[in-house]
Amino acid sequence: MDRRFIAVLGAPRVGKASFATQFCLNCWFDGDRSEYEYAYRKQMIVDNRMCFVEVFVAGPQEDALSGAWMQQAQGFLLMYAISSRKSFERLDELRRIVVHAKGAVPPMIVVANKIDKDKYVEEREVTKAEGVALAARFGCPVMETSAKTGQNVERVFANLVRALRNTDSGRGAVQRENRTTKCVVL
């Protein structure tokens, strides 16, 4: 069976833990759980193939972004809340941390969360176009979701599993960052 390790990164209070809980347990818990790291597991079928997905939700501490799970993670969900420009602006930094830790650009998806309530739409600080532009700059897709209602939650994970499988088969090779190499002849 296929086994995938996925990390969910984002600023505090964007809904990372609720998103993972919705994916794995099909429920939503209200309240702030941003002080902790969480790990979840779920079996799912993607394109008629069973897959075991392990989800790690990073806590707010910077040292959490350099842990052993970072090396184990194969794909990343970079999450922001549509009602928080600050969370959106944090994604550049998080992507840099991931690319530095992995030495390459792994499969990732930008996740625009909290589209479930009218108050968030009215208070929307990040437009769809801005999310699309950021994802294009990152070279990855963007998806709008609601951890509360479950809208597009399963689809995000399925799409990342597909991207990871494509990377495995060579169709979506991991992009190396611009690095200079040197040849030494002995």
Radius of gyration of the chain (CA): 16
b/e code 134-168 from CB counts within 10 Å (16+ = b) = bbeebebbbbbbbbbebbbbbebbbbbbebbbebe
Per-residue model confidence (pLDDT) at position 8: 95
CB-count exposure of residue 58 (10 Å: 0-12, 13-18, 19+): buried
CATH of domain 2-168: 3.40.50.300
pLDDT of residue 100: 92
What pLDDT is recorded for position 36? 55
Q: Is the CB of residue 58 less than 8 Å from the CB of residue 45?
A: no
Q: Domain ranges in the chain? A: 2-168
Task: Specify the pTM.
Answer: 0.85
pLDDT in tens, the chain (186 residues): 799 999 999 999 999 999 999 999 888 777 655 555 578 899 999 999 999 999 999 776 554 556 677 889 999 999 999 999 999 999 999 999 999 999 999 999 999 999 986 565 678 899 999 999 999 999 999 999 999 999 999 999 999 999 999 998 755 444 444 444 444 343
